[in-house]
Amino acid sequence: MDIYRKNNLDCSRITTRNYSTSFSLGVRVLNARYREGIYSIYGFVRYADEIVDTFTDQDQRTIFEEFRKETFIAIERNFSINPIIDSFQMAVHKFGIDRELIEAFLLSMEMDLANNVYSPELLKTYIYGSAEVVGLMCLRVFYFDEPEKYDQLKAPARKLGEAFQKVNFLRDARDDFNEKGRVYFKDIDFSNFTEETKKQLEDEIDRDFQESMEGIRKLNKQVRLGVYLAYSYYMNLLRKIKKARPEEILKKRYRVSNRRKSYLLVNAYFKNALNLL
């Protein structure tokens, strides 16, 4: 069983590295005791996202429902033959990840199978489940044995997840709007996306980042560097988006270059080490 569990955890780690070089680098600078839990969470949420976003030639609703059922069966049994789900259920039990967070996440993923235009109410529910609860799952890994600290940091952790998701909305607008017909921001016409509207969204994201930074400063050093590095990547991505003209948002997907990521890593390392955040 030890080899089986190790293999499944390796699958989550490989999935993280294959899908996101930025996120995997952030995980690698965490203290080793936290890495497996974060890899397990990322692998799980990535597979769920793949079902609703990528497998368009399959019966996505049926596959997603099977994924949902298998997840909760695995949590009940403490076992799954699916390596990604087995890795996740281990993290659920080890770190005490609340079922409500899992259900909220799966609800948001399911919403992408049913909605193309999101009202303010639906968007709030969607962002909570798709991003904020992922931040809370990670926070639970960091402070599974310190419930008071977890409660103190919940609000900024949610704000960081919200900021990340809103940046993703702008970064992925080309694919979401042109290919999937999705509009996450109500009353925003991406075919007539103005500078004023774009700035309103960017200002909103800036406020989310500012609130989240208060929580990042309070993290212990063993995890703070990894979280701050992810924060730095997304802030850098937002700056690139701010420089783009509104019409360019639907023409390309913005990213941070590997060279820039290397600079941000070094900068984050020294700021964290010297308590300059």
User: Cβ neighbours of residue 118 under 8 Å, at least 6 residues apart?
Assistant: 126, 183, 184, 185, 186
What 3-state DSSP class applies to 179? helix
Residue 27 in tokens: 């995980």
> Which pLDDT score is estimated for 22?
85
> Which pLDDT score is estimated for 270?
95
Q: Which residues of the chain have pLDDT under 70?
A: 177-179, 181, 183, 185-191
- As a residue count, the chain comes to 277
Cβ atoms of 212 and 163 closer than 8 Å: yes
Domain coordinates of the chain in residue numbers? 2-273
> Which pLDDT score is estimated for 185?
67
> Which pLDDT score is estimated for 172?
87
Residue 270 in tokens: 């020294």
pTM of the complete model beyond 0.85? yes
pLDDT tens digit sequence for 212-265: 999 999 999 999 999 999 999 999 999 999 999 988 888 888 999 999 999 999
> Which pLDDT score is estimated for 117?
75
CA distances from 241 to 22, 43, 181, 224, 231 (A): 17, 27, 21, 26, 15
Instruction: Classify residue 114 as exposed, middle or buried by CB count within 10 Å of its CB (0-12, 13-18, 19+).
Output: exposed
Cβ atoms of 257 and 21 closer than 8 Å: no
> Which pLDDT score is estimated for 94?
97
CATH 1.10.600.10 is the classification of domain 2-273 = yes
